[in-house]
Amino acid sequence: MGTIANIVCKTVGIAGLSAVTYDALAMASHHSAARTSEVTADVFEKSIAAKRSNSTASSLTNTMQSKVADLRMKNPIVPIFGKFKGYIEGFFSSLGDNIIPIFLSSLALATKGFAQKCGAWGLGIFGVYQIAKEGFGLGKTAPVDE
């Protein structure tokens, strides 16, 4: 009987960590796209502002600023930086939000005996709580009711 309980606890732990990892990667992709858009819009705003604010009325200065603005707008490094920063922010933000299931899954995977069973049962109870709260809205106040 102990071997079956051990296998069930390890399976629950793996399932919990898999769900947390999937969520972290999905949120990382979402934040990556959003951050890329923000960085690109910021570069666009600064390029247009620099292009439209000449300190002197010179055709040469105007042409030079137009070329620099075009170069800044087509720079591929800026969106890559934003994408990387957004990915890291989203990944670690999601891990921080899911600290309880990470702890319970780790407990179910890394320990033995009573602690392992507590981790597996705790993860199961937490999952049921999340389904009831987020899925069915139990215990949540709707924004229209506030």
User: Model confidence over 34-64: pLDDT tens digits?
Assistant: 998 888 888 888 877 777 776 677 788 778 8
- How far apart CA 23 and CA 85 sit, in angstroms, is 18
Phi/psi-derived region of residue 56, left when phi > 0, alpha when psi is between -120 and 50, beta in every other case: beta
What is the pLDDT at residue 46?
81
> Which of the pair, 140 or 85, is modelled with greater confidence?
85
Separation in Å, CA 44 to CA 30, 49, 82: 21, 8, 14
Whole-number Å distance between alpha carbons of 135 and 35: 28
Nearest one of 68, 81, 7, 12 to 40, comparing CA atoms: 81
Q: Are 48 and 65 in contact (CB under 8 A)?
A: no
DSSP for 28-52, please give it. HHHHHHHHHHHHHHHHHHHHHHHHH
CB atoms within 10 A of CB 77: 7
Q: What pLDDT shows up at residue 1?
A: 52
Give me the residue spans of the domains in the chain. 2-145
Give yes or no for residue 84 having a pLDDT over 90. yes
Q: For 93-122, how does the pLDDT look when each residue is reduced to its tens digit (9 = 90+)?
A: 999 999 999 999 999 999 999 999 999 999
Closest CA to 106 of 94, 91, 90, 118: 118
- The whole-number pLDDT of residue 63 equals 82
Report how far residue 50's alpha carbon sits from residue 71's, in angstroms, rounded to the nearest whole number: 13
